[in-house]
Amino acid sequence: MILTVTLNTALDITYRVRSLRPHTSHRVSEVTERPGGKGVNVARVLAALGHEVTVTGFTGGATGRVVREKLAAVPGVVDALVPLSGATRRTIAVVDERTGDTTQLNEPGPTVLPSEWSAFQEAYEDLLPAASAVALCGSLPPGVPVGAYAGLIRTARSAGIPLLLDTSGEPLRRGVAARPDIIKPNADELAELTGSHEPLRATQDARRRGAGAVVASLGPEGLLAATREGRWRATPPTSLRGNPTGAGDAVVAGLLSGLVEHLPWPDRLARATALAAATVQAPVAGEFDRGVYEGLLGRVTVSGEVSAA
């Protein structure tokens, strides 16, 4: 079982409009709702790849009930979310059908009480023995300590469970110091962490700060990885047009699935890149078509060098 942690779950709502223009009314052509938050998105992709996945984190209020109802309909995903007195947040994505661009509005999330944080930590520790890998994903809701991910990483390391961290800012900085097996920042998050805007130098610096491996998302340019085994660059086959929402979560799912299947790094990176590209091309944010993914997989270019160490 792969365990994904989403402390700031959401109900993702997507509106499609013919053309998004400020200061005017819009007729919405389509509305979709689905359970969201980065770890939930990762779990959905992992389940589609055939892995058993358990989702934990927080959920509460009327929005939280909708999230759990919709999550129950996702094959292969087990709900282990912890109840919260506050209401789960919503995220609103508005897709401009003319340009394909997406405008995102993210609510901050409910405040987590100290007793609720303690309840989550107990649930997390109970779930770890059955986990083959863990992903800690997304932002921290109000009330959760800024060093929360660092503590969860140390708990997983004590249990011998490999862990991937996908967050930003101070939670990422503190989390890296706790020595996660993999981090997956985008270019801006990596630059904020290291102070370097040169991706290769920044990935190496992030490893020196404690990360076992660093896989940086470079948007349309693909992935850059610095690991104990070597360094690689994975590039999608074509310049892709579509909705990038959820592409980073597809990368995390590709890396995690490759980890538990013991694939070599070039194969993990090819899978992650193809999944991200298929997600960008999908009509619904964060979904992917299996046929499109399989067609892209063999066309991803992975180049690099194996470490002599």
List the catalytic residues.
249
Rounded distance, CA 306 to CA 182, Å?
A: 18
- How many CB atoms sit inside 10 A of residue 236's CB? 21
**DSSP secondary structure, 204-246, as one string:** HHHHHTT-SEEEEE-GGG-EEEE-SSEEEEEE-SS---S--TT
Residue 40 makes CB contacts below 8 A (sequence gap 6+) with: 4, 6, 9, 10, 55, 57, 67, 71
CA angle 273/41/167 to nearest 5° reads: 80
Token pair for residue 259? 């980890």
Classify residue 107 by its DSSP letter.
Answer: -
Residue 53 makes CB contacts below 8 A (sequence gap 6+) with: 1, 2, 3, 4, 43, 46, 47, 76, 77, 78
Task: Please identify which residue in the block is written with the tokens 């779990």.
Answer: 43
Closest CA to 39 of 217, 167, 225, 173: 167
Rounded distance, CA 253 to CA 272, Å?
A: 7
